[in-house]
Amino acid sequence: MKFSLTWLKDHLETEASAAEIAAKLNAIGIEVEGLEDPADRLAGFRVAKVLTAAPHPDADKLQVLTVDTGEGDPLQVVCGAPNARAGMKGVLGLPGAVVPANGMELRKSAIRGVESNGMMCSTRELELGDDHDGIIELPEDAPVGESFAAYHGASPVFDVAITPNRPDCMGVYGIARDLAAAGLGTLKPITMPAFDAQGPCSVDIRTDDPDGCPAFFGRVIRGVSNGSSPDWLQQRLLSAGQRPISLLVDLTNYLMLGYGRPAHAYDLAKLTGAVVARRAQDGEQVLALNEKTYTLDHTMTVIADDSGVHDIAGIMGGEHSGCSESTADVLLELAYFDPDRIGATGRKLGLTSDARTRFERGVDPAFLDDGLDLLTALILELAGGTASEKIRAGSPPSEPKVLAFDPAQTLRLGGIEIDPNEQQRILTSLDFVVDASAMPWQVTAPLRRHDIEGPADLVEEVVRIYGLDKVASTPLDRSDGVARPTATPEQQAERKLRRAAAAYGLDEAVTWSFLPPAHAEHFVAEGEALWVLENPISEDMKAMRPSMIPGLLAAAKRNADRGASGSRLFEIGRRYFRNADGSSDERPTLGVVLAGEKDARGWSSGKAKGFDAFDAKAVAERLLAEAGAPVDKLMVMGEAGAQFHPGQSATLRLGPKTVLARFGALHPATLKAFDIDGPVMAVEIFLDAIPARKGGGTFARSAYAPPALQSVMRDFAFLVPSTLAAGELVRAVKGADKASIVDARVFDVFAGQGVPEGKTSIAVEVVLQPGEKSFKDEELKAISERVVAAASKLGAELRA
């Protein structure tokens, strides 16, 4: 939020400098993100008077001016503005000045052969407005030679960040109140100009949605003149980053930015019948002020008349009923809307505005009457007209919170001892009502302070105003010697796994923990419930992810859409579920997506090569091994899930029921749901299913000790049923003699001529490692017999 020092001093009597105010704002919890002085940008520009104006000798649209700068001899300036004439006063940029609009540094130069010693400036060139039809014309009493920044009253501009719990500071007056409480000046009371209301309001105003709009106040003003705003008003809006539009619109924006109270002005001639706050009907549409059409539903509150919807309540007005230069009669509206309803509507529509920012955080329900009267008085003063009596439909929340507060809690919770009288002064200066006649105190919070819920909040108010810098820094106790590691075994395992995945050539991605509901539902396993947020940051991202794969798929798609030939992505994070009893659950998981080209095309390889299911299996086994899983004991089984291709996917299990990972090609229906061209391989490793290391040891490798004797290799060729997985055969072979067999691997698979139908020939290389002495022939023969016997239990027979 931005505001000028001049605007702040409208409400705060202070002699503090801009730097001192910025320091105090930071000290009381209102972070200053920027402090800019427009006078710095206007350095080198002065008030000047045009003495003479003559045609340029070599250009029809240019004039040669002599300009009095108030110092020394007049300067010659070439100017192309049509309104330049002798006797007028304007703004002259001298050589060395930098034009704010384009960053151009002015220099003495020749224009069509005539020397020019500067530039007469327009409003747009100095970024003071949009007018560029001519140069700025100043009043006759403008002092020639004075710095234009000083004459214009350029004021430093603060840019502050207001946390969501402080809607009371979403207006300049609220910030002035905090500064006054902190001792940086005196808060000026809001001046309520008197005016006479003439007759009842001619428009019926009511609220038919008391839940979404508990209070709807309004009145009619007839005979207004909606022209340009006065300079003081435009300057305040410009300092806040708002573009002045028209007097009526500017005044509603002034009330919102100055007092945190959004309001709306309707052109009465464009309304029909009663004006009502009600629920929208499903499918109703409204053309908003941002020139976009929005489709509404029954959960949204709107402002409508007999002809239809005119306003998305608390968020944005409609284009049709907005004020224009021809507006003569207006209906003013100030309302209190339910913050939750405003937030939900804004997220559904994807619509943000300054009004929504304030309403969904909670505006001051006690400022409806005064806010409407203040806006009315400003309109009557600046735009003329006659005002009707106000209509109050419904009533805003009016029950304040009363908290029991012991001032001793400030020391206990805040770590600083503050005199109870000072605590009472601070709370009172913030408009809390303190009854200190008994202990504990009874403290009544102002209605605008929606963030005050308990005594700890009162401690925070006291400490921040008293001075956070006065809280002593006290080091925490720690034992002597080297600090103990703080990472848990699970965190250490994830760090190791992250490094291993990166070393394997995968790129780490960090994706959202929430997904579009359609994507999340696609990956929910049978028997599991989706975890849906009640208050998401966006309606399109309200489901917590049940799998790591959807987020990685979306990242791979973005890469492909931007020309990436391939993606090798991984992420370590959490999957989220709702249990049957309603409780939440999260599980650590590693996800991998391999998409696009594995190897680029080349003169030796020909076409580019993509990833396949075996690449996914290799990744899964490699990372499982790094995570400490007993890879040599894992079983390869099916049922990877409906999201995977049934013929090109599998699971890795430790026993029939414990699934450690799933891998393979994603199902074409999954790729279609994510609008991705396939094939795409995916891996998901369930880190919580990996058994813990015995003894809780670290992941450091033991020292390598090579065997003293050379290993022996033997090859076996078996005829096995075609349905038998090669992994089962290898596992059986390894288990035939665990003391001697250190490894086994498949090196040939053949089916066809010479192999009986329904059979497959699988050749296995077995590595035997002798211990203290070399194998004898009879020992090797015995081991071979045990290998054949183990394979025969699976229906395998040694091939002749």
Binding-site positions for Mg(2+): 451, 457, 460-461
* 791 touches 733 (CB < 8 A): yes
* 605 touches 594 (CB < 8 A): no
Question: Which two structure tokens, joined as six digits, stand for 233?
Answer: 């008003």
Question: Which two structure tokens, joined as six digits, stand for 106?
Answer: 């002015």
Question: Which two structure tokens, joined as six digits, stand for 483?
Answer: 């600090």
Kindly write down the DSSP assignment for every residue of 73-137, as one continuous string.
S-EEEEE--TT--TT-EEEEEPTT-B-TTT-PBP--EEETTEEE-SEE-BTTTTTS-S--SSB--
Dist. CA 224–CA 387, nearest whole Å: 10
Residue 562 buriedness (CB in 10 A; 0-12 / 13-18 / 19+): exposed
Dist. CA 79–CA 66, nearest whole Å: 10
Helices in 135-227 by DSSP H: which ranges?
Answer: 148-152, 172-181
Residues paired with 651 in a beta bridge:
637, 662
* 276 touches 207 (CB < 8 A): yes
φ/ψ of 256, rounded to 5, equals: -70, -45
* 628 touches 693 (CB < 8 A): yes
Dist. CA 194–CA 196, nearest whole Å: 7
Residues with Cβ within 8 Å of 416's Cβ and at least 6 positions away in sequence, in order, are 410, 463, 466, 470, 471, 472
Sign of CA dihedral 176, 181, 184, 188: positive
Dist. CA 693–CA 664, nearest whole Å: 27
Angle at alpha carbon of residue 45, lines to 39 and 47, rounded to 5°:
110
The CB-side HSE value for 513 (13 A sphere, CA atoms) comes to 15
Query: What is each CA distance from 356 to 55, 315, 317, 337, 503, in whole angstroms?
Result: 54, 5, 11, 10, 47
Dist. CA 725–CA 642, nearest whole Å: 22
Q: Which residues make up each annotated binding site? A: 451, 457, 460-461
